[in-house]
Amino acid sequence: MGMLGNSTRGLLPLQKQLLYRACVVPITTYGFRLWYFSGAPTKAQVSLLATMQRKATFWILGAFHTSPTSGIEALAGLIPIHLHLKKLAKQSCLRAATLPSQHALPSLFSAHNSKGAHPHPQSLALLTDAQSAQLRSPLLDTEALLLNLTKRFDSLHPEIRPGCRLLDNFPDHISFHPCDRSNGHTRKLQFDALDRLCHEASSNPLTLVVATNASVIPPRNMQAVSVAHFWRLGEQVSLSKGRAIALDAELFAI
């Protein structure tokens, strides 16, 4: 790492930051859910990881060792390690909602989150109140988060199977019209055709016209916004808008 960080022939700071995030962080946080959960003593482990990230930040930026940790982490584009662990823990809890009922983990949850799986002998559903009060486990964090989750996921839903998707069932109802941005005349004809199509659709009471777009305001450090307008018979009936990161703004709009 010292050779790669050579200021004359080494990597650029952006490349070193990418190397740290792609190689070092996944290794150091592997299996962290075994010790990172509510009620567990995590101060020593988090302090050790914070020291590691501080050394990595010095390696990335070449900053003075007396520089404040929060400042150099911001300059290096690194999230504080305790917040990163909190984010990973929440993601791991939410990922449990996407597991199929045949997975081993639902059998350890309560009946509400077991997805119909047969309870394991060590399941939360079979614990007494006294045992539940003394238990400290990542399963309790996952259980508490899943109870407050409003959206439900089905990893084996029929609509995601090959042959059952939307394009497979209704191929004549969906068409794609690519836009040629290089030719101004062709682009104008495409917009005119789109206007005629929207006018025809607006006259049909059984048709809903949805227009979506994403906006990323320069400079790129501004919040990206996605908006969708819903029209029926030429009148706007609904409006949906949300915030997303710049890379996902257009996908969020769709």
Residue 131, pLDDT above cutoff 70: yes
Q: Is the C-alpha dihedral spanning 160, 163, 168, 169 positive or negative?
A: negative
Alpha helices in the chain (DSSP H): 13-19, 25-28, 43-61, 69-76, 81-95, 129-134, 138-147, 166-169, 184-202, 249-253
Residue 247: the pLDDT is 65
Which two tokens mark 62? 């070449």
Residue 105, pLDDT above cutoff 90: no
Higher pLDDT, 43 or 174: 43
The pTM assigned to this predicted structure is: 0.62
Which two tokens mark 235? 């009148």
CA distance 41 to 39: 7
Residue 187, pLDDT above cutoff 90: no
Higher pLDDT, 67 or 188: 67
The domain segmentation of the chain, as residue ranges, is 13-93, 99-147, 202-254
CA distance 186 to 178: 11
